[in-house]
Structure formats: structure tokens, C-alpha cells
């Protein structure tokens, strides 16, 4: 009999048929079954599961679970559902990093080339040429130099932007001015024309970009949030935009998603709202990576060292 690997997704969500079929194609020697379709007498067979937003009830039914492979890069919504003692691997996918870097570059260029200002001029029927700025003179900083942030920073570097990065611990990235720790965080904000947030959601990052952080940023600078919504204090950001201290914010992630219709971000002239599209999972490549990790675990218990989640850190 083939080893059983449940695909576990919150019962309130629509089935992810495409991903399930791609997982089955990537590991035909393994029986990938949607959790709801597994007979109760077989639930105890599973030692590993693929999860895509699971509930605690679903995972607790897998009494012998030892290893969880997530299809997401972020795990803050998954960890509370995973029983203590069960190892969790986030999705580390080079294609996801490239997709995110593409979005970072696109919206950096949007700000760099003054697209928000030209949009306002069009509304006002104003024909005004803004003075150009060379990419080499535009200081862009990436908050978070993990698997996604490093590729984003080097992509910006290769487009000749003046790039810096910040991380919790020291990092070295060729051609990128790297900072870390509290002092480094302030230094990065003070030097930046555009700040790109790619930090994960942890206890340490909630509200990190608030009144003090925005006051540290250069007058007329802009921010892009492709990390997690709770990293930004919404009221502090709106105050910084209303005062003119910050010029524009491109926001793809929010405290509550979908963004409520009543939220001021929708109508604010200095905010671009995106529907969480900057770094979608590429299901075809994610299925292959998940299959490789699961095969190794089932063969000898090996887990992907570059993807294992530290519960204390939250990522």
C-alpha cells in the first residue's frame, strides 16, 4: 500500500484541486488524499501532511503526525493549528522569490518614475514634466534579507539602484549595504527614498513600522508593504501621508483581508491598494519542492534545513 499523505486545507475554503493534482503527479508513489476524503480508520497512518491553511481540528485528527509541509512562505496563520512537537517546513521556492522580486522591481519603478504624481496630474489635467532621477541616485532599502528579500535586493541592485537591506542578524549580500539590529534599522530608514517591507509576521514585527519609524524616514520618501499587514501601524501611516512627510504607500497586505470597504486606504490619494498579489505561490514548482521534501522525510526522516520553522522566532 502507498504511504498516505493528507492534503489539509481549512474546511471553509474552496478545494485547491489544481495543487492536489500537481502533488499527485509529482509523487505518484505516494497516496495524496484530501483530508476530508480520508476514512477515519486511516487517519492514524499519516506521519506527514501537506497543509494550505489547515484548522487545528483537522491536524489533531492525524494522531501520528510528525512533519508538516506548508505550501506558504509565511507560517503565522499555520503555526497555531499545528500540534506541539510536530515539525513545520515553510515553502522555500526559488520561483516564489523571483515572482516577489519582479513585483518589488515593478512597484519600485512605479515610485521611482513618479507614476503616482503623473496620475494626479492627469486627474487635474496638468501637463508638467517632473525632473528625472537616475536609478543610481535613488536609495532603496529592503527590510528582511531572507530567501525573498535577498533576491529582491539583488534584483534592484542589478537595475543600478542604490540598495541597502536590513535583517535581524548580520547578513552579507554582494553590492548591497547591509544593516542589522536596532541601530541598523534606524540607519536604513534614514537613508531611504523607498522602503520595501518583506518582513514576516512575528511578535517582534507587529507595529514595527509606526510613528517613530515613519518619522525616521526621509521627507518625501515612500513605502511598499509586501510582507505582512500587521507590520504597519495603519493610523501612523495615514498620519505620515496626510502630513506630507511620506509621499506614497503601495500596500499589498493588510491587518484584515479583504480590506474592508470603509477603510481610508481605498480612497486616499497617496495610497495604492493591491489585493495580496505580490508573491503568489506557483503551484507547479511548489508541488515539486513539497514532493522532494516529503520523499526524503519518508525515506529516513530528513527535513529541509533551509525551510524549518523556529516556533520561538515565528518563522
| Catalytic residue (choose from 276, 296, 311, 313) | 276
Contact status, residue 251 vs residue 277, Cβ threshold 8 Å: no
Query: How many CB atoms are closer than 10 A to CB 124?
Result: 8
Q: Catalytic: which of 112, 138, 139, 228?
A: 228
CB-side exposure of 182: number of CA atoms within 13 Å? 2
Q: What is the DSSP string of 247-294?
A: EEEEE---SSSSPPTT-GGGT-TTEEE--S-SS---HHHHHHHHHHHH
Q: Is 228 tagged catalytic?
A: yes
Give dist(CA 213, CA 186) in Å, integer: 7
From the list 253, 294, 228, 281, the residue with the least C-alpha distance to 93 is 281
Structure letter (DSSP) for residue 193: S
Residues annotated as catalytic are 228, 276
Amino acid at each position: 500500500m502507498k504511504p498516505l499523505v493528507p492534503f489539509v486545507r481549512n474546511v471553509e475554503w474552496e478545494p485547491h484541486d489544481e495543487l492536489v493534482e500537481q502533488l499527485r503527479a509529482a509523487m505518484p508513489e505516494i497516496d495524496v488524499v484530501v483530508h476530508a476524503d480520508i476514512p477515519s480508520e486511516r487517519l492514524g497512518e499519516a506521519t506527514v501532511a501537506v497543509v494550505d491553511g489547515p484548522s487545528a481540528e483537522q491536524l489533531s485528527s492525524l494522531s501520528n503526525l510528525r512533519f508538516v509541509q506548508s505550501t506558504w512562505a509565511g507560517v503565522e496563520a499555520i503555526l497555531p493549528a499545528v500540534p506541539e512537537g510536530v515539525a513545520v517546513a515553510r515553502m522555500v521556492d526559488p520561483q516564489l522569490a523571483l515572482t516577489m522580486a519582479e513585483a518589488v522591481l515593478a512597484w519600485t519603478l512605479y515610485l521611482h518614475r513618479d507614476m503616482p504624481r503623473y496620475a494626479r496630474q492627469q486627474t487635474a489635467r496638468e501637463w508638467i514634466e517632473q525632473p528625472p532621477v537616475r536609478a543610481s541616485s535613488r536609495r532603496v532599502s529592503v527590510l528582511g534579507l531572507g530567501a525573498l528579500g535577498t533576491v529582491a535586493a539583488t534584483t534592484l541592485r542589478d537595475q543600478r539602484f542604490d540598495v541597502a537591506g536590513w535583517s535581524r542578524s548580520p547578513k552579507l549580500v554582494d553590492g548591497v549595504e547591509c544593516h542589522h539590529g536596532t541601530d541598523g534599522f534606524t540607519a536604513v530608514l534614514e537613508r531611504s527614498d523607498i522602503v520595501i517591507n518583506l518582513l514576516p509576521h512575528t511578535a517582534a514585527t507587529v507595529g514595527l513600522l509606526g510613528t517613530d519609524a515613519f518619522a525616521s524616514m526621509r521627507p518625501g520618501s515612500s513605502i511598499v508593504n509586501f510582507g505582512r499587514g500587521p507590520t504597519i501601524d495603519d493610523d501612523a501611516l495615514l498620519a505620515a501621508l496626510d502630513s506630507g512627510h511620506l509621499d506614497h504607500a503601495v500596500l499589498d497586505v493588510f491587518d484584515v483581508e479583504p480590506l474592508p470597504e470603509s477603510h481610508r486606504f481605498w480612497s486616499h490619494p497617496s495610497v495604492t491598494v493591491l489585493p495580496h498579489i505580490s508573491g503568489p505561490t506557483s503551484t507547479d514548482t511548489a508541488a515539486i519542492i513539497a514532493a522532494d521534501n516529503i520523499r526524503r522525510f519518508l525515506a529516513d526522516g530528513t527535513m529541509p534545513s533551509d525551510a524549518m520553522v523556529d516556533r520561538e522566532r515565528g518563522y
